[in-house]
Amino acid sequence: MTILCQSSFQNKNQQAGTGSLYLVGTPIGNLEDMTYRAVRTLQECEIIAAEDTRMTRKLLSHFEITPSMLFSYHEHNKAASGPELIRYIIEGKNLALVSDAGLPAISDPGADLVALAVSHGIPVIPIPGANAALSALIASGLPTTSFTFIGFLPRERKDIRSVLSGLRSAQGTLLFYESPHRVSKTLAHLQEAFGNRRIVLARELTKRYEEFLRGTIEECLVWLSEHPPLGEYVIVLEGESKEEAELAESSWWRELSIEEHVTHYETSGLARKDAMKKAASDRGLAKRDIYNALLEKE
């Protein structure tokens, strides 16, 4: 492996005339969350690349920033647009990447541009700012020591189930992004996968109608059925509790049929008779019930 060392505060265009890629955080609603450094960087960069140029124009005009070049970079043009932007940076231009809101490269195609820049040895400089997931987490009241950011779930039911089943035993808090049209459906998926855990629905963060709904998944579903969802949501879900972890550990066999359960013990070296005895004891059944179930299978 080759170690590449980038020192942000020394490399200001020192690399033979190459520019840098600046990742500029912008507000997630409240314009007062724009940082001085973000404004200065956007003023100084020769190119600004934005997910939605119309939205970014509004932000720039609010801060009286006149971009020399505003470039569109989004999911549907990133394959062509990415290499073009990299060429500009290699030619010596500094480029600022902004997302529609919050931090670029979080639930948007920015990460692809960053990877491309890194592969060309271009300095990448983060200009931190607001972020919806972390703002929701810190105000949620749920544990913050360990957390996993999931972002948007996939669209297909089977893909959703597969992602969620992989997270069932995650012990840290889980963070999801969701639109108002899908939030109830997503909560129903979460309930199916995790049971009635505690959640916090953080809505319209930093905006006028900012709201935190704290309760169980079931309680929040009832609330949403009475108060139709509006605005943008972060779902903060409590991780697996100690009790849930212990229960999962003691009932590892739950997904197995009786036959598979007995076979499991046999393959681990027990005689069939002892394997049946162990399976019976795990399941709280009499050995005779195991025997009968196996006979039915034959």
Name the site residues for ligand SAM (rule: CB under 6 A): 28-29, 99, 101-103, 106-108, 131-133, 177-179, 202-207, 232-234
Instruction: Tell me if 142 sits within 8 A of 198, measured CB to CB.
Output: yes
Instruction: Tell me how far, at minimum, the Cβ of 28 lies from ligand SAM, in Å.
Output: 4
Q: Which is nearer to ligand SAM, 234 or 276 (CB)?
A: 234
Q: Which is nearer to ligand SAM, 19 or 29 (CB)?
A: 29
User: Which of 191, 230, 235 shows the shortest CA–CA distance to 213?
Assistant: 235
Q: Which is nearer to ligand SAM, 99 or 140 (CB)?
A: 99
Instruction: Tell me how far, at minimum, the Cβ of 184 lies from ligand SAM, in Å.
Output: 14
Instruction: Tell me how far, at minimum, the Cβ of 112 lies from ligand SAM, in Å.
Output: 14
Q: Which is nearer to ligand SAM, 101 or 217 (CB)?
A: 101
Instruction: Tell me how far, at minimum, the Cβ of 103 lies from ligand SAM, in Å.
Output: 4
Q: Which is nearer to ligand SAM, 89 or 105 (CB)?
A: 105
Instruction: Tell me how far, at minimum, the Cβ of 12 lies from ligand SAM, in Å.
Output: 26
Q: Which is nearer to ligand SAM, 81 or 99 (CB)?
A: 99
Q: Which residue is nearest to ligand SAM (CB)?
A: 102
| 3-class DSSP string for the chain | CCCCCCCCCCCCCCCCCCCCEEEECECCCCHHHCCHHHHHHHHHCCEEEECCHHHHHHHHHHCCCCCCCEEECCCCCHHHHHHHHHHHHHCCCCEEEECCCECCCCCCCHHHHHHHHHHCCCCEEEECCCCHHHHHHHHHCCCCCCEEEEECCCCCHHHHHHHHHCCCCCCCEEEEEECCCCHHHHHHHHHHHHCCCEEEEEECCCCCCCEEEEEEHHHHHHHHHHCCCCCCEEEEECCCCHHHHHHHHHCHHHHCCHHHHHHHHHHCCCCHHHHHHHHHHHHCCCHHHHHHHHHHHC
Instruction: Tell me if 65 sits within 8 A of 57, measured CB to CB.
Output: no
Q: Which is nearer to ligand SAM, 94 or 131 (CB)?
A: 131
Q: Which residue has the tokens 């007062």?
A: 32
Instruction: Tell me how far, at minimum, the Cβ of 54 lies from ligand SAM, in Å.
Output: 16
Instruction: Tell me how far, at minimum, the Cβ of 142 lies from ligand SAM, in Å.
Output: 16
